Each structure stands twice: as structure tokens, then as C-alpha cells.
Structure 1
Amino acid sequence: MKCACGRESVYYQRYANRWLCEDCFKKDVEKRVRKVLGREVIRNNVKIGVGISGGKDSLVMTYILKKFYDSIPNSEIICFFVDEGIKGFRDVAKKYVVEFCKEFDIDLRIISFKEEINYTMDELVEKNYLKHLNIGKPCSFCGVVRRYLLNKYAFLNNCTYLAIGHNLDDFCQTILMNYIEGNVKNIIQFGKDVSSSTNFVKRIKPLKLIPEEEVILYAKLNNLKYQKEPCPYSHLSYRYKIKKIIEMLEEDKPGVRFGILRGYESLLKLIEYREGNLKKCKICGSLCSGELCKVCSWLEILKGL
């Protein structure tokens, strides 16, 4: 089939019912990323911290951000790679990240679970320490601590924004998980992503409008090498089941992912966000409802084991 421009197509966009050639496909993806970021983010005098994992999403996101900011004066990109200490998985990811950052001349900082919290993720699972924290799945601990560390180092490096590689599918998964669990607080905080905390770096999610399959194709067309193997703990997560449900819905009704996102964002406009009576964590200074934030309270428990 032919693209609208007359060239041979490489991709059929089911939800838009159109065929795209390689050039038009790349431009379409980049146009949507630019739309998400807007002029507030794509400007000079900006330092973007990037959470990079070695997977397709974070590498595609970083590649596009680098492309945007190369021609913008007084702008900078710095990557943060969190090594959770998952044997046979993170070492492979680190190799891809180091090679990628070297190729594109991007500053890279590696953050270690072992150095930061005194345990690797493997050690926490093998010693069954998560049960002492009342955590059922490894991802529930890992995800929270990773976000905490990324924000910590983005703040320490004076970043204006912290870029997270969540694609459209990731957004829909989180939205549905929060709906199903009735987690109203997370529903609001995930969408508005605001905080009055002085050590909170505002997050941006450039791939919000890019479906997972288009991230994969964009990486392929730009010869980006990334880790394809999933985390060995990911199949245990609730998110994995939600992912399969959304894939089934999208297959039956192309465009349902955009519908989930649009409906959610429309709902957020009707909700007034209030942080409530929050305190500062006595250890790290982050805003929290008690004396300690979730991460610091976990680490205090782990110290006593």
C-alpha cells in the first residue's frame, strides 16, 4: 500500500485507518511527542533529567529528546540509570544504556540499589524481606523506590524536568488499575502530577500519545538497540494482567487506548486537586502524610532485619 505522500508504506495505523511510509511515520511520532511537551518544555535554558532503563521506551524517548534539544541553546540532557541488582537482567540493560549514551554523547549517571538502600532487588526477594514490609509483589517495592531515586538525583543535579518513558499503553494500564482498585488519590495524583514539595522535580512523559507497537517500530527504523527481555519479576505483577486486557480491547476496537486516556483527562478537569495537611519526611524532606515517607519507612524497617 502507498502512503498519502505517494511512497511505499511501512506501517498501517489501525486506529486512524491510514498507511504511513517510513518518513511520515517518524514525523507523526515526533509531532505527537512535541505536542505533549509543548513550548513550556521545548525551549532554551532547560535541563532534562531522563530515567533511562535500556528498554525501547526510554531509549526512543531519549533519542527524540536529544533530536529536539540539539539545536536549542543552553539546554542539556542527563540520563539516570537505576541498577536494581537483578542478576542476568540489569547487566544487559546497562550495556545497552552505556553504548547508547556514548554514541549520542549524553551524560549518564548510574544509581545503585545496593549503594542507596543496602540491598539488591534479588536479595530482597530471596530473603523474603518484602513480607516484612507488607508488600506482595516485587514490582510494588521496586517501582516506588526507582521513582524516589530518579527524583532524588534529578533534584541533586538541578534538573528542570524529569522525563519518564511511559507510552500510551502504560498510561492506560495505570488508569485502569487505579479505577479497578478504587484508588482515588492515585487517580488524581497520577494525572495532575503536582507537588508543592521543594525537592520534587516535575515529571514529563513525552511518549504519552505513542502506542507501544509504534515505539517498537520507531526504534527499529532508527536502528536503536535495546533490551527486549522483560524483567523476570514482571509476570508476577497485576499490571501484566491489565496489559493483556487492554491488548484484547484494542484488537476488538482500534483506538480504545486513546479513548481511555481522553476520558481520564476529561475527568481530571472536573476534579480540584488538594494536597491536604501534609508533612515533610523527617529523613528525606519529601511531602508525606505521616512522619516518614513510604520509602524511608520501608528502609527503617529493613535496617532492623
Structure 2
Amino acid sequence: MDAIDLLEKRIEALELQVLSKDTSASQTQAITDLLMQTHTMITSALSCREAITSILQHMTTINEYLDPSYGENVLEVEAKRHYLLELYPELKDTVKLIGTFENLIPYADSANIVKVTELSEKLDRLAVNNLSIYEESVEVTQNVLASLQKYNDITGSIKVLFAQLDRARPKTGDTLCKECFFEAFENEIHFTITKANLFKRDATVAIAASGGKDSTVLAYIMKLLNEKYNYGLKLVLLSIDEGITGYRDDSLDTVKQNRDDYGIPLKILSYKDLYGWTMDEIIGRKNNCTFCGVFRRQALDRGANLLKVDYLATGHNADDIAETVLMNILRGDLARLSRCTSIITDSGDGIPRVKPLKYTYEKEIVMYAYFRKLVYFSTECIFAPNAYRGHARVLLKDLEKIDPSIIMNIIESGESIKVNETTVMPSLTNCTRCGYVSSQQICKACVLLEGLNKGLPRLGIGKSSKVKRILQENEKKQQCCSSSTEKCSKATSIKNDVEDMGKDSLCNGVKASDISKLSIDQLTI
């Protein structure tokens, strides 16, 4: 028997028990309102807008209202009939709801109500956590959008720079499209190589590769021009691992990818293997760039000798050379201008260094790498901001904003300044310790290493005369220490001989037990 049949039978029973007296409209409406309110509470409870326990507490009253025999004494039949006619379309659903709440009555005891409260608290905490996660996700989304915006800004700035390049190149003032820029860029480097006669045919060239834009473009261009113009060169990549965690290890991954992309063999040398130190171990001592620069130059020369190459090509561009000119001028070291502006330099070991990118602007190198989609490492060394070169770079960039041709003007000025013929330049010799080419008796690298090994990191930083004086003082201290060591060894030997004699008196009347009271000088006389 379903709920509809049950309600129909109840209605028939109510009709049989109809009383003769009339039911007032107000009483009928009040009962109807009460039942309507109960129905609303049930619906709200199921939709989680009301507490379930409040409905369960009214279950007895609800059952009484729906019992046909109840109306015989208390409830007017007319009121029941009015209610049933009012809510008949919803009665079926109401009966189902009542049945559902009857099944929930066992769970309405006090113990379970306490558990429900605990569950409610946990749900509240969960809701707070979900809200926090949502807020964090919103923040992350905003950060991602901000990063994308920065990327778009950078891309847009590059496009603007390229648009400027389309109007006029900073170096020549020529108006070029992208493809014509590629051709002009490559032809200019080819012209630089051929005019300066940088390489001989069938020579082996080591390319100093750091993974940065300059060395990456140099490796790509050298391979391209070597095949295009048939230079007949054998190319090899030479990288130096300074031991800077988070910088050089990542850039070496880029170098290895360039090795695979260009099909050029790679050789990696490390400071640790060559000198027993890494830059991470030198960090915290002053003048980090001085150590790194000296060690790196010598490491490249050692690598070139190890590979038995004919040339060592570096990625120095026009901006780098102009910065070096400014640095030497600011330091008052005009004698170095000729060497720093030379496109070919010889370190004295028979392997010349060449600079194919000497007349190439840094801005154009970046553009070429970007539009050629070359893979390079763009992060600056973590110690670079503290380098003295940074001041010259800032000055050069400010001047370039005023006049882009200032870079070439500075290079030409450095080339035109010549050292007075009466000036005696230092002659190259070999270091007495490592055999490396040096203008001093002891090369700069050995001096720096001695300072590191002796806990005097600033030993090699300064004028050579001061360094010589410090080295002489250290040698005197070593001689004194060695002399004291010899005395100590003699004293120990005499003491041991005396102790072997026991407590007997010696020929000079001194007891063995008194030997320890004598001074070293007394024992050795």
C-alpha cells in the first residue's frame, strides 16, 4: 500500500467522523498554517538550511495531526480536509520526507549530537583551509599573470628594439629587415676575420665557451662561416668550470647542448683540478673577480696547450673592448690600451688569442641570438655586480644612449693611443714555480694561490713591489721556523739519549732529571 492509498483511506475516515458543529475559518487557517510551517521546516532541513534535530522533535505532533482518530476529540475534520486540499499536490513528497526523518530518529540521541558538533567544527576548519587554499591559488595565478606580463613586456621591448634596428643600425645607420640584418651581421664578421687574417687554413681553433650569448653566437658563426666560406678550420669548444654553484653548473648544461646542436667537440677544465680551489671556496674573500679573472685566463691558455690548438677564439665584443679601454683610462694604465684593443694577442705560449667579434655591438649579438633562436645562458654571474668593470659598463651605456657610435669611437681612440718609444715594457718570461708565461718572476696566479694557501688572500692584490716584500718576509719566517724546528729536533734527540741512561750522573755533573729544565740553546751547545 503506497502513501496515496493510505492518505485516501484517512480522508474517508475523517469524512465519516465529521462533526455537526461548524469549524471557524480562523481555527482552520491556524491549523493549516501550522502544518504548512512544519512542511517548510522539513523542506529546509533537507536542503541544509535548518537543523535536522528541530524537525525530529516535532515528529510526534506531526503524526498526531495526520492520525484520523485524533481529530475525533481535538481537531476539526474541516480543518484536516482544508489542509489536505491545500497541500494535496505536495502530500506525496511530504510523506516521503517524514519517512526519511523517522529513519533518522535513532541518530538524534545526545551522544551523536555531540559527534555532529565535532564534525561541524572540523567541517568549519576544512572550509577555512579551502578558503586559504583558494586565496593562495588566486595569488599564484596573479603572480603567473604578472610573470607573463613581464615576459610580454620583454618580448615587446625586443620587438621595439628590432623595430629600431629596422630604422637604423646603431653601428652603421643602415636600414635593414631581419633577413638582411642576418646577412649583414655574418658578412661583417667574415670581413673582420679575412681582413685581419685571423686564421690560417687547416688550423685548429679552440672557442672559449661559457654558454653566454657572446660565446654561443661565436660558436654558431664560426661553424656557419667555416662551412660557408670553406675556412678549413677544425673547431673545438673549451669551457672552464670555476666552481660557482647555481651559475656555472647551469651554464655548462647550455654549453653541452651547444656541443650537441653544432656538432663541435667539448673540453671542460675546472679550477679544482688546476688549482685545488673553487670559487665557492674563495667566496667571502675580497676581490673575487680578481681571483677568477687571473685563474680563468691561465686556465684557458692551459686548456689550449692541452688541446694543442693553433688559435684560441674568445667572444669579446665591441662593448667589452670599449669597457676595457675606459677601465684602463680610469686607472691611468694607458700602456695596456694597445693590448686590450688588439684583435690578436699573444700570451707568450705560442697560441694567439683572436677576437672575431671585436667590431660587433652587444645589442646586435643579442638580437641575432634571439631571432636565430640560439640557446644561451643569460644569467649574470652572482659576483659581477661587485666588479670594477660594472662602473665602466654603466658609464658606457649612459654614453651610448646619447650617441650609439660612442662605442666604436672609444675603441678607435684606444687604438690610436701609442706608448712612448722610450717606455720600457716588461719582457715576458716563465714563472719559476708553474712555468706559465709571466712578466714577473712569479706569475700572478701563483701569488694568489700562495695567498689562499697561507690564509693571506690579499697577498697578490696590489702593486708588485708590495707583493715582493711580503713574499720575502714570508720566506724569512719560513727560514726561522725551519731553524727552530732543527733546534727542537736536536733537543729532543739529546733528551732521549739522556733518558736512556737512567738517573745516573753525566760526565758534566748534570742529572738526567734536570735535562728538561735546560733551554734549547744550552742543549745544543
Please classify the TM superposition score into its range, dividing by the shorter chain length.
0.7 to 0.9
User: Residue 59 of structure 1 aligns to which amino acid in structure 2?
Assistant: T
**Cα 1:221–1:273, aligned 2, differ >3 Å: closer, same or farther?**
farther
Cα distance in 2 between the residues matched to 1:222 and 1:26: 9
- Conserved? CA contact 2:322–2:407, under 8 Å: yes
Between 1:292-301 and 1:38-47, the stretch displaced more is 38-47
| Aligned with residue 302 of structure 1, among 447, 452, 457 | 452
SS in 2 for 1:80: strand
The answer to whether the aligner puts 1:208 opposite 2:358 as a matched pair is yes
- Please name the residue that 2:183 is paired with: 27
Contact 1:37–1:204 (Cα < 8 Å) also in 2: no
In structure 2, the partner of 1:118 is: 276
CA 1:241–1:277: 2 relative to 1, 3 Å: closer
Cα shift at 1:105: 0.5
Which residue does the alignment assign to 1:3?
none
| Superposed displacement of residue 185, structure 1 | 3.4
Check whether the contact 1:81–1:111 (CA below 8 A) recurs between aligned residues: yes
- CA offsets, 1:194-227, max 9 Å, x none? 4473x24211111111111100000012110111
Aligned to 1:4: none
Match of 2:205 in 1: 48
Residues 1:145 and 2:301 aligned together: no
What residue in structure 1 maps to residue 306 of structure 2?
A: 156
- Is residue 2:256 matched to residue 1:106? no
**Which residue does the alignment assign to 2:316?**
166
Give, in whole Å, the separation in 2 of the partners of 1:269 and 1:73.
Answer: 35
Q: Structure 2: 5+ residue runs without aligned partners?
A: 1-162, 456-525
Describe the SS at the equivalent of 2:283.
Answer: helix
Partner deviation per Cα, 1:241-264 (whole Å, 9 max, x = no partner): 211111111111121101111121
Q: Distance in 2 between matches of 1:249 and 1:53?
A: 28
Q: Does structure 1 retain, via aligned residues, the 8 Å contact 2:225–2:231?
A: no
Match of 1:89 in 2: 247
Distance in 2 between residues matched to 1:196 and 1:9, nearest whole Å: 40
Superposition deviation, residue 287 in structure 1: 3.0
Contact 1:278 1:288 in 2 (8 A): yes
- CA contact under 8 A between 1:59 and 1:224: conserved in structure 2? yes
The TM-score, its normalising length taken from structure 2, stands at 0.52
Classify the secondary structure of the residue corresponding to 1:45. coil
Q: Secondary structure at the match of 2:417?
A: helix
Greater share of residues in strand = 1
Contact 2:314 2:356 in 1 (8 A): yes
| TM norm structure 1 | 0.87
* Whole-angstrom CA distance in 1 between matches of 2:202 and 2:418: 30
Find the counterpart in structure 2 of residue 178 from structure 1: 328
Deviates more, 1:165-174 or 1:272-281: 272-281
Q: Distance in 2 between matches of 1:63 and 1:272?
A: 44
SS in 1 for 2:236: strand
2:236 aligned to which of 57, 74, 78:
78
Deviation at 1:289, TM superposition (A): 3.3
Opposite residue 95 of structure 1, the aligned amino acid is: D
Partner Cα separation in structure 2 for residue 26 and residue 272 of structure 1: 46
Please point out which of 418, 424, 429 is paired with 1:279.
Answer: 429
Whether the 8 Å CA contact 1:47–1:75 is kept in 2: the answer is: yes
Q: Does 1:263 align with 2:413?
A: yes
Partners of 2:190 and 2:412 in 1: how far apart?
18
Alignment match of 2:214 (pick from 39, 46, 57): 57
Q: Distance in 2 between matches of 1:16 and 1:289?
A: 39
Look up the equivalent residue of 1:32 and give its one-letter code. E
2:372 to 197, 215, 222: 222
Contact 2:213 2:369 in 1 (8 A): yes
Residues 184 and 38 from structure 1, CA distance in 2 versus in 1: closer, same or farther, beyond 3 angstroms?
same
- Is contact 1:9-1:21 (8 Å) kept? no
| Equivalent pairs, count | 289
- Aligned-residue CA RMSD (Å): 2.3
Higher deviation after alignment, 71-80 or 113-122? 71-80
Aligned partner letter, 2:193: L
Q: Which has the higher contact order (CA 8 A, sep 6+)?
A: 1
- Structure 1 residue 285, shift from structure 2 partner: 2.4
Secondary structure of the residue that 2:175 maps to in structure 1? strand
Percent identity at matched positions? 30
For the 8 Å contact 1:161–1:204, the answer to whether it is kept is: yes
Structure 1 unaligned blocks of 5 or more: 1-7, 129-135
Structure that is richer in helix per residue: 2
1:42–1:287: structure 2 CA closer, same or farther, 3 Å change rule? closer
Query: How far apart are residue 148 of structure 1 and its match?
Result: 0.7
